[in-house]
Structure 1
Amino acid sequence: MAGEDESDDEEDAGRHKKHRHRDEYDDEDEELGEAEAQAMQRQMMQRKKGPDFLHDDEIDEEHFRNRYKTVEDDDEGQNADDEANRNARLPDIKKDPHVWCVKVANGQEQSLCIQILQKFVTLAQQGTPLHVSAVYCNGQAQGFVYIEARKHAFVKEALSGMRGVFHTKMQLVPNTEMVGTVTVLKKTATAMATGWARIKRGKYKGDIAQVVSVDDNKNEVEVRIVPRVDTADYTIYEEGEAKKRRAKAIPVRRIFKPEDYKIDDLVKWEVEETRDEQMENCYIYEGMKFDASGFLKKAFPVKSLQLGSDVKPELDDLKLFEQVLDQ
């Protein structure tokens, strides 16, 4: 009989061990045991190295940089080794909590984050903590909050009773996209219209530009810049050689005025006179848009521009912009 009891105990232990190794994404898993829950509670309550979420409703860029070891934005020409290094810094899907993206009412992102944090503190003091390790929102993703937890059920528990939450619109963030949820644009991204910017790369590298508008959703800044229009004749070269020369060419800066060119040339270049979104006269040439003053209006990614109060035009540039715009 003793041998049979020992055999039964071993079978029970085996079944219990197998049960604990079920799929980590299975929402039907039972909640953590009391001892494990208390350990998790102590771990979460001792997180003092990051920002104090309970006293600051703004997401701390430095915290998330340290948390996920996010790398800085890379310039053009980044090679495969850089990509591999970035992937090596991603959270471990087997060891780290997962991140869920939750659709919420626009404008309620920070408020809901604070409510969840308050709920976390209240329940933790009562000895029944929420099993979430972080909640945050990103100003570049309006209408969404992100919750870090080990199970989907824990996320639903944290959101229970919250208004402004679309419970059916909840998705698990892929491991490779986690860094993007905590990426915060540099303060220079909040460029002011009529402010100044300097191009960081390409044909216009180093050129000064005047900010026209800022699109926070696309992370783009539309600027007004003195154009570098390439009107050279490449037909004397073979196609391959012509393409290389055109790519390397850096034309001189010059305000674009159709009257400065021959009509035949304008026809050959297919320069089109039209109106822009503000119903102002403009010209289109090879996909470039020139306003009535002859400046090129072009949208650049934020990371392609140097922005901020330290960007100042030279005296000659300032005079050029003022003279042309005053005409």
Structure 2
Amino acid sequence: MNEEEFDKMMEERYKDGSNFVRYGEDDFENKRAIDRNNIIPFARDPTIWKVKCMVGRERNLAFCLMQKYVDLKSLGTKLQIISAFALDHIKGCIYIEADKQFDIIEACKGLTTIYSSRIATVPKNEVSHLLSSRITRNEVSEGSWARVKNGKYKGDLAQIVAVNDARKRATVKLIPRIDLQAMTAKFGGGVSLKKNSTPAPRLISTSELEEFRPLIQYRRDRDTNKLFEVLDGLMLKDGYLYKKVSIDSLSCSGVMPSEEELLKFKSSENNETDDLEWLTQNFKA
């Protein structure tokens, strides 16, 4: 090969559009194209159907459909659906992947909390958005409002008074649900009977605690730097209950207290802090 032939070969090999030439940005563009193709549905993909159901039963229904699929398959019958799933941020419906609406109706037979007559297809251009991951942050800050997720105070309004990020815990202020009669029976030597009903929320006055005064300890909390009356492990102050809870046990997103709830959390005009400080000094003496 002479010099002229070599130059011609190099020119052909490395001209614009040649497969021999690769640039750094080419890999990036190719990767983006692959990522887009992974989430963009094709025309041949099965249809995703949105099916109305009872609120709060979304996950359970998706599981029931999967279990029904497995049970029928073991008997030699196959449900004509491909998948079923629920989304945490969308209430009152589940999503089923199938080719035909008739297949959805057949699969939902026997499930009373799903309304198979209320079905709609999810447009192809909305599928990628529907299945995209969502990151929700439970913003917790002092002074903000939250709802308790579980336990005796489930659904109750709580005000966050301190946050311990290291331990992922928060101190919250609540309207107490304390049965003082049951507590009297407990400390009076009587038999404490378990009650199925949860006590109604109400503030506890100082006079109601008088009979428990010998049992009450006075303790300053590190996280809030407040002085509390502690009775049977319960932190009480100005009629309110203060609890240390896991941040994950609180729902803080979009909490809008009612006017009635806000009135109950209005600071007491009777400043009992000085009284507690005075009592503490007497106990130390």
TM over 0.5: no
User: Whose radius of gyration is greater, 1 or 2?
Assistant: 2
Per the normalisation by structure 1, the TM-score is 0.33
